[in-house]
């Protein structure tokens, strides 16, 4: 760790006139590669963070301090420090094995070093968190000490949406529900307020962001949402005390209206063509008499539809939310292709008429379902805080002491 880094209480740095930087714990970050990571100060200046190796002495000292009341007499301090280093900086699987052995049994190999019953709550939490996470610490200019500043950091998170089975995904894709996922908000020791900003990629539109309510029901909870064309959600939650366990923020979203409109137009076109071809007087006879022209007309529609669906390098969450609607469009294209084949191949009357009738009805029903889903969303599926005046305790929203800010 660089010698000029200060571990003193930040305002004391200003009074003593020493130290170029102070250390600010940000969050417990999952071990692994940071992708698209950025951190900046209140004026937009890029900041740095400690690496995991530089982080090791700091976190090991904190963990050793928390364990000291539970340590056995005549324990091997060298082995304890080595084990703590593995828990903090080792691979998650190996670190978890050592943490379980130490926290549950109080053992390092065959030596008893801890009385587990005497472990503090915070020590138990650290032994649970640190095997798979590390403490992210920012290097902040000492000039920030004594002032309230917001440090904004962003990174790419790998998050699994909650709708995993196909039926639930279809229900949400047609507008009867929202796609959703949870984000656990993690702090080293809690914060008075937490700011979470979620930026959605092209192809998705934001719906709502609900911050954790916290353990104190009397503490005001403020939520803000932005469902504009930029697809950004920004939530602010205030807390009076740290929760015993991480609480998730709930985020809902859906495919863009443009994709739903495209799918509806394809369904409408398919239904109109097949219903007219099936029930319009003498339509089938005319198509059979001029089957080359009819086939060419019907085959042109799938080609146009598949061209509109072409994608390159798409976000995985976009694919998850949009796949059902794309499957519907491909179904319509294949249905039209099959109907064109029934005309060209002079399929016998019964199966041919059943194919056209069933295809027209199914595509019409799916189009109607899309309209019902759009009406449901238009009638207020996104909830907002009607009393949100943009102020908290006389200050602009987000101006709370001890806040943290994340962006994904």
* Chain segment 99-146, per-residue pLDDT in tens: 999 988 889 988 888 888 889 888 888 898 899 988 888 988 888 877
Q: Answer yes or no: pTM beyond 0.75.
A: no
Q: Does residue 392 fall inside a structural domain? A: no
Of 116, 144, 172, which one is at a domain's C-terminal end?
144
What are the angstrom distances between the C-alpha of 61 and each of 76, 242, 311? 16, 22, 51
Residues 131 and 246 in one domain: no
Structural domain includes residue 347: yes
Whether 140 and 11 map to the same domain: the answer is: yes
pLDDT in tens, 301-360: 665 665 555 555 667 778 888 889 888 988 888 888 888 888 877 888 889 999 999 999
Which residues constitute the domain of residue 283? 257-378
Give the per-residue pLDDT at 285: 84
Asked if residue 94 belongs to a domain, the reply is yes
Classify residue 340: in a domain, yes or no: yes
Residue where one domain finishes, among candidates 118, 144, 170: 144
Per-residue confidence at 381, pLDDT binned at 50, 70, 90? very low
- Number of domains into which the chain is organized: 3
Q: Is residue 187 part of a domain?
A: yes
Would 150 be classed as within a structural domain? no
């Amino acid at each position: 760790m660089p010698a000029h880094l200060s571990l003193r209480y930040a305002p004391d740095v200003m009074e003593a006139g020493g130290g170029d930087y102070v250390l600010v714990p940000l969050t417990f970050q999952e071990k692994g590669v940071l992708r698209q990571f950025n951190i900046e100060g209140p004026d937009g200046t890029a900041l740095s963070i400690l690496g995991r190796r530089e982080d090791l002495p700091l976190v090991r000292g904190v963990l050793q301090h928390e364990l000291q009341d539970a340590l056995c007499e005549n324990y091997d301090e060298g082995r304890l420090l080595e084990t703590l280093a593995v828990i903090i900086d080792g691979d998650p699987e190996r670190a978890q094995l050592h943490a379980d052995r130490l926290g549950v049994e109080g053992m390092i190999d065959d030596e008893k070093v801890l009385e587990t019953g005497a472990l503090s709550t915070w020590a138990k939490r650290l032994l649970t968190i640190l095997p798979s996470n590390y403490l992210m610490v920012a290097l902040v200019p000492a000039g920030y000490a004594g002032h309230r500043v917001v440090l904004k950091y962003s990174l790419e998170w790998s998050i699994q949406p909650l709708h995993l089975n196909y039926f639930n995904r279809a229900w949400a894709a047609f507008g009867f529900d929202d796609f959703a996922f949870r984000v656990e908000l993690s702090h080293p020791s809690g914060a008075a307020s937490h700011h979470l900003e979620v930026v959605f990629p092209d192809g998705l539109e934001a719906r709502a962001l609900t911050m954790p309510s916290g353990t104190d029901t009397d503490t005001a909870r403020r939520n803000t949402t932005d469902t504009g064309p930029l697809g950004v959600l920004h939530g602010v939650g205030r807390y009076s005390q740290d929760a015993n366990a991480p609480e998730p923020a709930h985020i809902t979203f859906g495919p863009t209206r443009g994709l739903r409109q495209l799918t509806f137009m394809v369904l409408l076109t398919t239904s109109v063509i097949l219903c007219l071809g099936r029930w319009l007087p003498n339509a089938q006879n005319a198509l059979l008499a001029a089957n080359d022209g009819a086939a060419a007309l019907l085959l042109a529609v799938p080609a146009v539809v598949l061209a509109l669906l072409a994608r390159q390098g798409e976000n995985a969450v976009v694919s998850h939310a949009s796949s059902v609607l794309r499957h519907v469009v491909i179904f319509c294209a294949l249905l039209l292709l099959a109907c064109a084949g029934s005309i060209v191949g002079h399929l016998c009357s019964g199966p041919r008429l059943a194919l056209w009738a069933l295809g027209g009805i199914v595509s019409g029903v799916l189009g109607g379902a899309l309209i019902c889903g759009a009406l449901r969303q238009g009638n207020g599926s996104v909830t907002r805080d009607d009393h949100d005046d943009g102020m908290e305790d006389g200050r602009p929203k987000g101006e709370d002491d001890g806040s943290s800010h994340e962006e994904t």
